[in-house]
A = this chain, B = another copy of it.
Amino acid sequence: MAPVLAMPALTHAQTRIRWRMPGSFPKSLDTLYGTQERIARRVREMTDGAFEITPFGPGEVVPALQVMDAVGSGSVECGYTSAYYYLGKDPSLCIATCLPFGMSSRSLWSWLQEGGGREALRDVYRDQGVIGIPAGNTGAQMGGWYRREINSTADLNGLKFRIAGFGGNILQKIGVVPQLIGGADIYPALERGVIDGAEWVGPHDDEKLGFQRVARFYYAPGWWEYAPSIDLMVNPAAYEALPSHYKHILEAACTEGWHWMMARYDSLNPVALRRLVAAGTQLRFFPRDVLLASYRAAQEFYAETGAANARFRRIHQTWDAFRVDQTQWFRIAEDSQANFLAVASAPR
């Protein structure tokens, strides 16, 4: 009698790879830095330990806002950062993260994966010497903390507000004086009255930074960051040296990271917001005239940026056509349910 044969094993062995992954986000943030760690862990798990990526916090290998440069120059193999930190080099990098009054997370994911977004952005990353893989998203952010109420556009006039990216350029058009201040310095600036307000992320992260102790009014929505995407940026030479199945595993770990970060924020934000409100934070919505003035200023800013940069204009046009389509479709099947349920299931 012939013995039962075990399934034959393939003969090629797993190639051992070691990469370094510096990031732009403080190690204290279990959401942003937590996702960076998780991506590294998942790649290790999916390769049975053969492909090891070591995550680093800001400043450990390179400064927070020089991650893309380090990847591009090949001094590290990959890095975890947001493309819009580098918009001074190319405004199209901002489209890879989020544009103010942009798309929801679902729509942005669809545009990137099925709407031609990643193809459109490939050259933008290539010009910086990197390959960009979407690898995180915070979901919709809040509109920031203010020491006094914003009742109309007039209240924005001369307001010194901490904000980064194109949101600042747009707010400047309607009177705000945008301030660029690093995460760790926001709290003291707000406490001493050097600034009148500041935006960061949302309830879970903001509570950790303690803004509720120095500003009373918490506004929604953060229209400048509806669904900001975070990238794993990879050095092309390091990428090409990977066995094909490691490339696929890296891609899958990044997709997991994108959606895991949102799952985590979505489970933590409601709890943090409830705590903040119970402790005295006053929740407010921006008045409609403020939103409308901001929206018009944003469209004006995109027209100006496009006039000065043909690639931005081209990508922005396809992005915007997709966005408008999404907005009109989502109001029918998705938002109508959200809006009904917000009222029907409100706690009594």
Contact = CB atoms under 8 A, between A and B. Distances in A.
Interface in A328-346: 328-342, 344-346
A192 interface: no
A344 B295 contact: yes
Copies of the chain in the assembly? 2
A226 interface: yes
Given A333-B202, A335-B338, A114 B48 contact: no
Interface string A41-75: 01001111110000000000000000000000000
B110 A266 contact: yes
A30 B330 CA distance: 21
A245 interface: yes
Given A48-B243, A113-B263, A342 B331 contact: yes
A322 to B, nearest CB: 8
Contacts of A259: 109, 113, 255, 258-259
Nearest to A342: B331
A10 interface: yes
Interface in A237-274: 243-245, 248-249, 252-253, 255-256, 258-260, 262-264, 266-267, 269-271, 273
A333 B332 CA distance: 19
B333 A141 contact: yes
A341 B9 contact: no
Name the residue in A17, A104, A269, A334 with the highest tally of chain B Cβ atoms < 10 Å from its Cβ. Answer: A334
Interface in A126-149: 139-142
| Interface band, chain A | 35 or more
A13 interface: yes
A153 interface: no
B338 A327 contact: yes
Interface stretch (A76-84, A159-167, A216-224, A305-313): A216-224
A35 interface: no
A114 B342 contact: no
A176 B252 CA distance: 44
30 contacts: A9-B15, A11-B13, A12-B13, A14-B14, A45-B245, A46-B249, A104-B337, A106-B106, A109-B266, A110-B267, A111-B267, A113-B259, A114-B263, A140-B333, A140-B334, A221-B334, A221-B340, A252-B253, A252-B256, A255-B255, A256-B256, A267-B322, A269-B333, A270-B328, A327-B342, A327-B346, A328-B346, A331-B339, A335-B338, A338-B338
